[in-house]
Structure 1
Amino acid sequence: MFSSYDGLCGIGELAERVGVSVKTVRFYSDSGLLPEASRSAGGHRRYGPDSVERLRMIRSLRTMGLPVSAVRRVLDEGDDAGRAGGALEDAVAGQLRATGSQLRAMRWREAALRSVQECPAAERAGRLRLIGAVAAPPDTAALARFWRAWLPPRMPARSVTAFLERAVPQPPEDPDPGQALAFARLHALVSGPCDGDEPTQPHAHRAAGARASAVLYAGLAEAYDLAATEMRQDRDPHPGEALDGFVDAYASAHAAADTPDFRRELARQLAADPRIDRYWELTAELVSRPAGRPEPTPGSAHDWLVAALEDESRTALTV
């Protein structure tokens, strides 16, 4: 309770009690967050005893970074005892999400700056242009567009989505300078003009029709998973379940039988197909296993399976 005759206080006393400036109190009053109880004969603002706690609540919410609109919702809900709770919880949750995004952006910005700082002086201008072309945190939309143009036309949306989940790397939450640079190079790779007029889609992947393409990529995804398990155990390419699934994906898509002749022809086609190795090399730099070993990517799993197929074909010819 204030000591004045009417139980109210002026703007200066209220500001002093809460530890804020008079200008701050005036701003919250003008914003409708802190109602005045009355005005004096001279037109000065007068506030009731409950204004102290209300102003403290406003200050706390604003200190956490909540915008005025969110503060108003929290206060309005507190003023209406008949309304269900949730405004404060929603406001805090929203602010946590926003703060998390800001922190992630700062971590990416720091990694990018360190990448520029740590490179030779003669390369810094070029490195800065490369890094500066990528938002912080980075967006993977350009990578997704690249693959959508690369995939066979008319593939079912579900199959496209499943492929993109494997082919488009998610930027790490807390990157190091090397990862920031790798993503910038990856972004430049997929955003730049293509060389020549030849499509990059492998000949062996050009299955006829949308259904055959979906069958092919679904089968390849399973084969890549099996190969990745072998690779994590540092096993050299070899025949087995992963290779059989790999070959079966192509055979099923092309309505062909899995015969030794089919395998030899498939090995020949895959060896001659256009490659996008640089994409997978950069992708591998974004993810790593313990001890710094690269996590298998669809590209490295494909290479492992092709090597196993070529080795099997060479062995069959010598028998």
Structure 2
Amino acid sequence: MTLPPEGLWSIGELAEHAGTTVKTVRFYSEQGLLPEHARSSGGHRRYAPAALERLRLIRSLRELGLPVSEIGRVVEERAGAQAVLEDAVAGQLRTLGSRLRALRWQEAALHLVHECPPEERADRLRLVGSVGAPPSTAPVAGFWRGWLPPRMSAAARAAFLEVAVPQPPDDPTPAQVLAFARLYALVTRPCSDAEPSQPAAHEKAGARESALLYAGLAEAYELAYGDLRAGRTPYAGEALDCFVETYARVHGLRDTPDFRRGLAGQLAVDPRLDGYWELVAELTTPAGAPPEPTPGSAHDWLLAALDAQVGQAAA
């Protein structure tokens, strides 16, 4: 590497030493990233040897995808250069992670459409085209906010939403893309006036009662999950007692055989969300694994146990 007598390079010489083009050097100079050392008598840019290392740093950062604004922060900073570089790289990693997640969803959606029978292709396109990539869970959360008791406390509502709103997987299978699209269609369809929109227990639930209702149900469901994973037939036990006692407390009544009989009848006519929970199980269960229990499957198991107990008592 040689320097002219004045110890400075022209823009062409700097570009040649850096293995890049004059156009690239000029662009970074005009962006303020590569200050010139002086101008020739003819008004041409002249660069000191230190500009070569700076140019190499700029090009390395650009290769990593950092925007010019972030590169400017890195190359201009002195005392905190390492911290600025670390923040810039971390920010770029987050951006790339979001893009990759979106691309994985798009790839799985394309496989879903490509691999389905031709007669189903239009319906699949319509379903997956209605959600983003990756999809937002805001419509799902909005559905539950309309379903839950209006006087439910913010803390109890947040705890329920944490369980009820599934987070889309980062690397979905085509089947999971379809499950989320169907879930989205389910929660955004217009309500029917001919069907009840909420369980009867919500009518009794103020802030305190709704907190008791959903905390108690969560405990009962957790107890039932073990039975579901073991494939046990619904039976009267600790999980069912917790389930019934929760409804009794909300209604301000005692857990008696008559109450259990009335509760079984009421729950039988409450609106059901089986389709929702089936889609949640499909969306959240790893490929090839048995379906994980959900609040919906636990509720059905407990209701079946209650029906069986009531039926045995009547016989």
What interval of TM-score do these two structures reach, taking the shorter chain for normalisation? over 0.9
* Secondary structure in 1 matching 2:204: coil
Alignment of 1:43-122 (within 5 A): 43-77=43-77, 80-81=78-79, 83=80, 85-122=82-119
Match of 1:287 in 2: 284
8 Å contact kept, 2:149–2:205: no
Match of 1:130 in 2: 127
8 Å contact kept, 1:289–1:295: no
8 Å contact kept, 1:200–1:275: no
1:28 partner letter? Y
Rounded to whole Å, the distance in 2 between the matches of 1:64 and 1:233 is 50
> Displacement of 1:207 after TM fit?
2.2
Instruction: Indicate whether 1:211 and 2:241 are aligned.
Output: no
Instruction: Indicate whether 1:36 and 2:36 are aligned.
Output: yes
> Displacement of 1:84 after TM fit?
7.0
Consecutive unaligned residues in structure 1, runs of 5 or more: none
Consecutive unaligned residues in structure 2, runs of 5 or more: none
Rounded to whole Å, the distance in 2 between the matches of 1:170 and 1:53 is 45
Q: 1:84 to 1:25 in 2, by over 3 A?
A: closer
Instruction: Indicate whether 1:221 and 2:188 are aligned.
Output: no
Rounded to whole Å, the distance in 2 between the matches of 1:231 and 1:182 is 22
8 Å contact kept, 1:204–1:269: no
Match of 1:277 in 2: 274
> Displacement of 1:242 after TM fit?
1.4
Q: 1:196 to 1:95 in 2, by over 3 A?
A: same
TM-score normalised by structure 1 residue count? 0.94
Q: Identify the match of residue 247 of structure 1 among 233, 244, 249.
A: 244
* Secondary structure in 1 matching 2:167: coil
Instruction: Indicate whether 1:163 and 2:160 are aligned.
Output: yes
* Secondary structure in 2 matching 1:46: strand
CA shift digits 1:74-104 (9 cap, x unpaired):
1122xx23x4741111111111111111111
8 Å contact kept, 1:2–1:49: no
> Displacement of 1:19 after TM fit?
2.0
Identical counterparts, % of pairs: 64
8 Å contact kept, 2:209–2:250: yes
* Secondary structure in 2 matching 1:295: coil
8 Å contact kept, 1:2–1:8: no
* Secondary structure in 2 matching 1:86: helix
Match of 2:13 in 1: 13
Match of 1:311 in 2: 308
Q: Identify the match of residue 147 of structure 2 among 145, 150, 167.
A: 150
TM-score normalised by structure 2 residue count? 0.96
CA shift digits 1:194-248 (9 cap, x unpaired):
1225432111343242211111011111111121222122222222221111111
Rounded to whole Å, the distance in 1 between the matches of 2:31 and 2:197 is 59
Rounded to whole Å, the distance in 1 between the matches of 2:206 and 2:75 is 60
Bigger shift: residues 284-293 or 55-64? 284-293
Match of 1:22 in 2: 22
2:84 partner letter? A
Match of 1:190 in 2: 187
Instruction: Indicate whether 1:268 and 2:265 are aligned.
Output: yes
> Displacement of 1:113 after TM fit?
0.7
> Displacement of 1:291 after TM fit?
4.2
CA shift digits 1:126-152 (9 cap, x unpaired):
211211111000100000000000111
